[in-house]
Structure 1
Amino acid sequence: MSWDAPLPTQRLAPRRIHTVRVRGGNKKYRALRLDVGNFSWGSECCTRKTRIIDVVYNASNNELVRTKTLVKNCIVLIDSTPYRQWYESHYALPLGRKKGAKLTPEEEEILNKKRSKKIQKKYDERKKNAKISSLLEEQFQQGKLLACIASRPGQCGRADGYVLEGKELEFYLRKIKARKGK
């Protein structure tokens, strides 16, 4: 591979990373294939390692979406399970479940565990602030969240980013819907 890769080559597939010697004898990590990343859920201050499912939008080029290329600022679908598990253990409230759905015994135990008065008071305090937006709730029901890649996979060998929320989420949902309509 030449010292300046002309095209982004970071694909969505099981991990393959090459080290590249750069000026000054330093190293860069060129991610040729990636399928996981660290994504931060900003409003809840929760970061989890999760699976990247698909590339759904890229402002610069539709070709990068078709070839599932991971670059900075591309919008990806990630697995919501780690965030749902954290939310349910932190707030002791179900998240992203259909009304009347049966829980497994382990999930039932987490949500309805017998707690001391002090611990129960702590959970009750948390529950007061446990509101999430309806758009995010919808995504949790599907088991997938929209996220943005903030790192540069071709430079650092990682695909890290943040979960989309609020106005930014609304904006990208509109953009994705418009692209599908074409």
Structure 2
Amino acid sequence: MGESSPAALRFSLCLFCFSDRRDCSVCKMLMAVAAVALDLSVQRLIQLLICRYELGRQPANTKLSSNKTVRRVRVRGGNVKWRALRLDTGNYSWGSEAVTRKTRILDVVYNASNNELVRTQTLVKSAIVQVDAAPFKQWYLTHYGVEIGRKKKAPAAKKDAAEGQEGEATAEETKKSNHVQRKLEKRQLGRTLDSHIEEQFGSGRLLACIASRPGQCGRADGYILEGKELEFYMKKLQRKKGKGAAA
């Protein structure tokens, strides 16, 4: 090939020592740094393409609303997440009775991480909510033959409605077969009901904890609070009410 042009010669010279770039130690170091930087930028690009959690997606902030809204989100591997934006129902388990019923979420009453989530009625995992007790009350009546959460009437009203109640009770008893009666009597032997839960049945609302992640699976499922856990959160709510009254 011919001799190199002055322009080509100018670009082949080092800016620091004005010698050939291939012989300059500074140029070699700069070229090595540039190669590493290019490699890191490629790695960063690949990481951004693979690790989609670094996109900075907005949180779901699932609100308590009757206008149920769940969005489908495509994630890595072609998998699907369901992002609940608004919910008001969920499947709740009564652990001691081994029964689950779909019920309405009525209110968000406590959140250990942030009180702002209670004020804005946001459904997140481990939030304490109040759910409708009617489905569980109906199940208890059919399973044990016992109506719980029934409010006691005044003595005057009892005298007036005594005959009517007796007639209804006898009519209900006659409808049950002998087999059903024996089955209910057998179930009564191991029946126990926590006094705190019985009080809640009277108000028609049960304290429950959300165990699922509404922003990931699109559901607000959980379990009814019982035992020590129920006592703990009842104390928390009492303190919260006391502070509110004092303020």
TM-score (norm 2): 0.67
Relative to structure 1, the CA distance from residue 110 to residue 177 in structure 2 (aligned partners, 3 Å threshold; closer, same or farther) is farther
Cα separation, 2, equivalents of 1:126 and 1:63:
44
Q: What corresponds to 2:212 in structure 1?
A: 151
Unaligned stretches of 5+ residues in structure 2: 1-52
Q: What corresponds to 1:5 in structure 2?
A: 57
Larger Rg: 2
Counterpart selection for 2:104 from 51, 74, 82: 51
Unaligned stretches of 5+ residues in structure 1: none
Cα separation, 1, equivalents of 2:205 and 2:189:
25
The alpha-carbon deviation at position 108 of structure 1 amounts to 5.6
The alpha-carbon deviation at position 9 of structure 1 amounts to 1.4
Tell me the amino acid that sits aligned with residue 54 of structure 1.
D
Structure 1 residue ranges (4+ consecutive) displaced by more than 6 angstroms after TM superposition: 101-104
1:171 aligns with 2:232: yes
Q: Tell me the SS of whatever aligns to 1:146.
A: strand
Q: What corresponds to 1:64 in structure 2?
A: 117
**In proportion to residue count, which structure has more helix?**
2
Q: How many residues align?
A: 179
Relative to structure 1, the CA distance from residue 177 to residue 130 in structure 2 (aligned partners, 3 Å threshold; closer, same or farther) is same
TM-score (norm 1): 0.90
The answer as to whether partners of 2:141 and 2:148 remain within 8 angstroms in 1 is yes
The answer as to whether partners of 2:60 and 2:84 remain within 8 angstroms in 1 is no
Question: In angstroms, what is the RMSD of aligned CA positions?
Answer: 2.3
Bigger mean CA deviation after superposition, 93-102 or 34-43 = 93-102
Relative to structure 1, the CA distance from residue 110 to residue 173 in structure 2 (aligned partners, 3 Å threshold; closer, same or farther) is farther
1:129 aligns with 2:190: yes
**In proportion to residue count, which structure has more strand?**
1
Identify the structure with bigger relative contact order (alpha carbons < 8 Å, sequence gap 6+): 1
Q: What corresponds to 1:81 in structure 2?
A: 134
